[in-house]
Amino acid sequence: MTVARLHDVRYGDIEQLIRQLGGSGLDARLIRRLNRDSQLREWWIKALREHISSPRTLEIEGFTPTAEVAQRLMTRSRGRAWDLPTAALIGMTSANFGAPASSSVEAVVVPDIWLGNFETTFRELWEWFQNVYNTPGSSCDLDLAIDSERLSPVVRDTHETVRSLRWAVVDMTANTGKAPGDCDLRSLAGLQVLTAAILHPAWFKQVITTTSFWLGGVKARERRSGPWTFTPMLSWHMNTIVLGIDYSVAQRHNFVAPTFRDL
């Protein structure tokens, strides 16, 4: 497990933390007690880690309203000439688009996008992901090859060539602490995890620093002729969101294999 180092923390973050702790009741007397008492420091850090590892900590405000999700999808589809079914796009952006008006951590509303084949869909979603996260104050990195001979959906028919679009919800707390091999593979989210991060960035930026997310609906291999033994994962490493199969960079004490279902 890779642990974030203290010297990676910016001075401005420390100043902000001190202000927030002061507002929560931390004073000079408590700071002096922490400096003197190693057992108290250990207890405090342990309690913080246990709290962060709880699925409840994923329930943070910041989800994009569904109507705005639909508008962002429409803008992206037009700008990239995705040629998605017109009726589906209109239906998803109408006043009664048939999805909950807002998301929760157990039901993150996303459009399930299919652009005719897996590799094209993956590439387009990753480029969109980069547009969202390669900005001042955040960054992302791809540590795998987007290649249909190295990546494949676990369940979806790879020969399905018709572009499609439908509403789905992703449970971002499902299977906490489990590897995909220990889960029902038919229910695991794959590219829907990427889409959830793309369309709900305010929420995702808050949770990715402490939680790694399997794309359990996708299988991977290192070589084109090798066995399908890997699963892609979104994780946090060196102040960067990494999509890869090198699990050593993930904070594996707290990882999740999200599930999805159609609406």
Tens digits of residue pLDDT in 9-55: 566 667 767 776 776 677 888 888 888 888 888 888 777 766 555 54
Q: What confidence score (pLDDT) does residue 263 get?
A: 81
pLDDT at residue 3 is higher than 60: no
- Distance in angstroms (rounded) separating the CA atoms of residues 208 and 240: 10
H/E element, 240: strand 240-244
Q: Are 189 and 170 in contact (CB under 8 A)?
A: yes
Q: Are 50 and 79 in contact (CB under 8 A)?
A: no
What global pTM score does this model have?
A: 0.75
Write out pLDDT tens, residues 133-147: 998 878 899 999 899
Write out pLDDT tens, residues 223-258: 888 899 999 999 988 889 999 987 766 655 588 999
Q: Are 249 and 142 in contact (CB under 8 A)?
A: no
- Distance in angstroms (rounded) separating the CA atoms of residues 253 and 57: 14
User: What is the average pLDDT value for the chain, to the nearest integer?
Assistant: 83
Q: What confidence score (pLDDT) does residue 10 get?
A: 62
H/E element, 171: strand 164-171
pLDDT at residue 192 is higher than 80: yes
R_g (Cα) of the chain, nearest Å: 20
H/E element, 31: helix 28-36
- Distance in angstroms (rounded) separating the CA atoms of residues 181 and 165: 28
If phi > 0 it is left, if psi is from -120 to 50 it is alpha, else beta; for residue 54 that is: beta
